A and B are shown apart, each in its own frame.
Chain A
């Protein structure tokens, strides 16, 4: 029952996106043009920490712009309808799953373009991809909840950034550290510590969102 509901809601999200193709293309365009700006302003990034941090900052802004619409795009009537036919929590979980998938995909596409256009000085590619998957997934879960909160407070993009950046900074920091380990080709305890931290943060944020959402959706 639950899984079917969530499955249907995820499918609905997907259909929504394919119907509004401009939104998907908009995000991809956003990432590509930001990377181009980085390319033209830096020429070549020789310093690995800077290269790494720049990528994560681009991903952070992509996540905000992408996920800000998650709750805001739905009209009040449509949301009310969804809450009556489905469990509100199922809707949250569905949105989280959808945002997770899309942001991880965006992250992987992003690093491909970023590596192609600027450079790719990574020694442990597998770990770097793991860092992107874990980091983007945690960012997506966090920003889904923040988007639900921000949609209650006037819906504006600035509010989303103000609320999201400080709260999700630990996620971003863990992601930067882990991918830095990967870029340097180090796979010690330090790297796995940060991988564990990312997973723990993702679980904690998701669990909190799941527990608190019932208080949030009512108007």
Chain B
């Protein structure tokens, strides 16, 4: 039992990540805002707001709303709350200073600061100054609740971070494990290490397939296509092709030791090229994935402190499961070799 502690750890981590990943609510946010007027400088106008997970009614007393244009705020005269997720904001006439786009901000102590970038568009031409500038009363911008960040378009699918991304981490970890075993094989020509390397590549490909399929579905809902022309996506697809080639190469050599030697060498090549494809090329190119081509990385934007422990748990959990499965496959292989 004690020998298998890491398997229990893996299961626990995975259970935690699935539970926390699905049970933690999404932070409140603004889904849409509609302006009643095309021209906002002539007369007062209203903005109808639809929120998600918001508590407009409960927080009615402390609810403020204002529009931002070129860093200058214009406060709502009156906030008319319909229910928890609906509110109508009454604004004074206002002309834009710079772009004819306004960012909508709302604040209450319970929901914190809600921001919708470029929420309202006006047909008015840009003029010299805002007619009414105010100082919005914001006690604290801190959000004092435990929730995942609200992101436009992503919404709840931000939880896929705990499901889709760990597939790739598991694949890369298994391929690294395979690489380590390739080196161990080449040091002493012990065929067992080659078997380990082979089995972990097979499991890595399963995780890779799952990563591709889940990524494809997620891409359909956020980027609008099943397969986007993305460096990282193409890089992983090609990595999988090169490891499939590794399996083909293994099939084409009869002698066990020769097969192990030749395929280990090819596998080392494939691994180095994977590092270039997944690690280096996306940095030189634009990519839709976070952390590449000017997109913010996991560390500073997409992965906030609420998500980080869950994400790491999921990654570690799936890596352990992957190593576990490859270990089972290896033991089966040994059993088969011993009896045939």
Contact = CB atoms under 8 A, between A and B. Distances in A.
A205 B186 CA distance: 18
Given A167-B242, A208-B268, A216 B261 contact: yes
Interface stretch (B86-94, B198-206, B248-256): B248-256
Interface in A120-175: 145-146, 149, 152-154, 159, 162-163, 165-170, 173
Given A149-B265, A163-B245, A163-B266, A219 B258 contact: yes
B273 to A, nearest CB: 5
Given A152-B258, A216-B265, A169 B277 contact: yes
A143 to B, nearest CB: 12
The CB with the most chain A CB atoms within 10 A, among B242, B264, B269, B276, is that of: B269
B284 A194 contact: yes
Nearest to B253: A153
Nearest to B239: A166
B281 A215 contact: no
Contacts of B248: 159, 162-163
Contacts of A201: 276
B258 A159 contact: no
B238 A169 contact: yes
Contacts of A204: 272
Interface in A17-53: none
A212 B268 contact: yes
A179 B284 CA distance: 15
Contacts of B239: 166
B99 to A, nearest CB: 29
Contacts of B265: 149, 212, 215-216
Contacts of A170: 273, 276-277, 280-281
Given A166-B238, A170-B277, A216 B272 contact: no
Contacts of A173: 281
Given A173-B281, A194-B284, A154 B252 contact: yes
A167 B261 contact: no
Contact of A153 (B262, B268, B270): B262
Nearest to A217: B261
Contacts of B281: 170, 173
A159 B280 contact: no
Nearest to B243: A166
Contacts of A167: 242, 245, 266, 269-270, 273
Contacts of B249: 149, 153, 159, 162-163
Nearest to A169: B238
Interface residues on A, range: 20 to 34
Interface string B13-28: 0000000000000000
B208 to A, nearest CB: 13
Contacts of B82: none
A162 B277 contact: no
A159 B276 contact: no
Nearest to A211: B268
A79 to B, nearest CB: 14
A106 to B, nearest CB: 23
A73 interface: no
A199 interface: no
B332 interface: no
B262 A166 contact: no
B262 A149 contact: yes
A186 interface: no
B253 A215 contact: no
A101 interface: no
Contacts of B280: 170, 197
A34 to B, nearest CB: 23
A169 to B, nearest CB: 5
A219 to B, nearest CB: 7
A193 to B, nearest CB: 6
B338 to A, nearest CB: 27
B241 interface: yes
A159 B263 CA distance: 13
Interface string A47-81: 00000000000000000000000000000000000
B269 A215 contact: no
A166 B240 CA distance: 9
A192 B51 CA distance: 48
Contacts of A168: 273
Interface string B297-324: 0000000000000000000000000000
Contacts of B268: 208, 212
B263 to A, nearest CB: 9
16 contacts: A146-B269, A152-B262, A154-B252, A159-B252, A162-B248, A162-B249, A166-B239, A166-B242, A167-B242, A167-B266, A170-B276, A173-B281, A208-B269, A215-B264, A215-B265, A216-B261
Given A159-B249, A163-B248, 8 more contacts: A149-B249, A149-B266, A159-B252, A162-B245, A167-B273, A212-B268, A215-B261, A219-B258
Interface of A: 145-146, 149, 152-154, 159, 162-163, 165-170, 173, 190, 193-194, 197, 201, 204-205, 208, 212, 215-216, 218-219
